Amino acid sequence: MELIKKGDYNQAKTLSVHELPNFSVLYNYACALENEKKGDHSMAVHYWKNIPLDYSGPMSSEMLKSVNAYSADIQELNRILTTPVYSAPVPQKPQPKIGMTADEVSNSQWGKPTKVNKTTTTYGVSEQWVYSSGKYIYLEGGIVTAIQE
> 112-131: per-residue pLDDT in tens?
999 999 999 998 899 999 99
Domain tally, the chain: 2
Q: At 92, phi and psi to the nearest 5?
A: -75, 140
Query: Could you tell me if 65 and 125 lie in one domain?
Result: no
CB 17 within 8 A of CB 51: no
Q: At 24, phi and psi to the nearest 5?
A: -65, -40
Query: Could you tell me if 75 and 141 lie in one domain?
Result: no
Residues of the chain with confidence (pLDDT) below 50 = 16-18
Query: Could you tell me if 23 and 70 lie in one domain?
Result: yes
Domain range for 143 is 102-148
Answer yes or no: is 88 within a domain: no
Query: Could you tell me if 74 and 22 lie in one domain?
Result: yes
Query: Could you tell me if 10 and 77 lie in one domain?
Result: yes
Query: What's the predicted TM-score (pTM) here?
Result: 0.42
Whole-number Å distance between alpha carbons of 99 and 141? 11
